[in-house]
Every structure is written in structure tokens, then in C-alpha cells.
Amino acid sequence: MTSGKGAAPAKEVLAFLARAYPGARVLLDHRNPFELLVATVLAAQCTDERVNAVTPPLFRAWPGPSPLSNASQEEIEAAVRSTGFYRNKARAIRELSAVLLERHDGRVPRTMEELTALPGVGRKTASILLGACFGLPALPVDTHVGRVSFRIGWTASKDPVRIEEDLARAIPPGKWWEFATRLGWHGRQVCVARKPRCPECGLAAVCPKRGV
């Protein structure tokens, strides 16, 4: 099983990731799917650490879609201001809370189509929910997954949808979620955007772009 000429062999990549990052998981703190949904929306253009500092008081004040949908725009803006783009984010989480109540009895849906129909929810966010909360095959493509996938030769695209399609062809569906999560960790810790730590990388021997 390989992903293309000149690409790192999929079998070796999967084996390395399993050894190196057996405990890889979503880094956004949450107690249920709704909290992860809100946290993921807030994480756009923001660090996980900052979001994890914001969400505990947010959910203490408004513990669920009903209280959050009834809060004022100004109140939510003040609570999420430090995550950046706070006006849009406050509007999105209020609106998605209202839509969850109207369409789904306050529960987070379990399909890509229903999730991406929620305000502020794109394909990456939906994939995170499907994989982390519901154990469904999902391939969330964030900047780390996209960067490492390009470097190991599994995609030539910079478009997240095309990257997801390329990865889906290389990896069995049952391994999508663990692969994406582990590859993301590798991108954060070793195959970083600037000055990747190739001498420390367990994929250096098979990476077509080692030393770049």
C-alpha cells in the first residue's frame, strides 16, 4: 500500500506514527460533543491553549445550546474576545446553538451533511466531531496534516478537500482518524512549518523532502 511514485510508503508511515504517537488525541478540552463543537469553532486562527483557557468559564456561564443561544451577542463576544475574530465566532456559536435546538433537539448530529449545515462549521470541524466523539471514519485536514502530507509525497495539493481525497485513497477508512490525529501531532512536534527537525524525524529515511 503506497500513495504514489516517490512517496513515503504508507505501511511504514502508519507503523511509525503508531509507535511515536500512540496516545494522540484532540487537544481541545471537552466533556461532550457540544463542547468540542464550540471549542473547534473558537479554535479557528487561535491556539488550542488559548481556547482551553476560554471554554471553562464559557460553559460554566452557558452550559449547553439552550443557555448559549439565549445569551446576548455582547456577552458572548466578551467571553471569547481573546480567541480573535470574536464577533464572528460569538455569532456562529450562538446561531449553531439555536440551530441545534431547532433541528436536532439540542443534540450534535452525526453526519457530515448535517454538521456542515450548522453555522460556522466546515468540513474540518465536522470531521473532528465525527472522529473524536462518534468514532466514525473521518480525516480532518488542518495545516499540520496538510503540510506533512505534502512533504511525505502523499499529495501535491494545498486544497484541504483535495488533500483529504488523496489521503483517503492511501489509508483504509478504519485508520483515517488515528492517522490524521497522529500526523497532526507529528506536524506540531517535529515536521514543523519552519525549520523542520529532519534529523530527529522517524520518517526521514523514507521522506522525499527530507532536509527541505
Q: Give the mean pLDDT of the chain.
A: 94
Same domain, 65 and 51: yes
Note the pLDDT tens digit of each residue in 91-131: 999 999 999 999 999 999 999 999 999 988 999 999 999 99
Q: Work out the average pLDDT over 47-58.
A: 97
Q: What angle do CA 128, 133, 136 make, to 5 degrees?
A: 75
pLDDT tens per residue, range 65-95: 999 999 999 999 999 999 999 999 999 999 9
Is 51 a residue whose pLDDT tops 50? yes
What is the pLDDT, as a whole number, of residue 193?
94
Torsion of CA 152, 157, 160, 165, to 10 degrees: -80
Same domain, 128 and 174: no
Q: How many domains does the chain have?
A: 2
pTM of this structure = 0.91
- Nearest to 188, CA basis, from 26, 4, 9, 16: 26
pLDDT band of 1, cuts 50, 70, 90? very low
Which CATH number is 171's domain given?
1.10.1670.10
Q: Are residues 111 and 158 in the same domain?
A: no
Q: Are residues 48 and 125 in the same domain?
A: yes
159 is catalytic: no
Q: Comparing C-alpha atoms, which of 135, 134, 116 is closest to residue 125?
A: 116
* Residue among 5, 48, 89, 124 flagged as catalytic: 124
Domain of 84, in residue numbers? 33-134
Given the residues 48, 142, 175, 209, the one annotated as active site: 142
48 part of the active site: no
Cα(122)–Cα(119) distance, rounded to whole angstroms?
A: 9
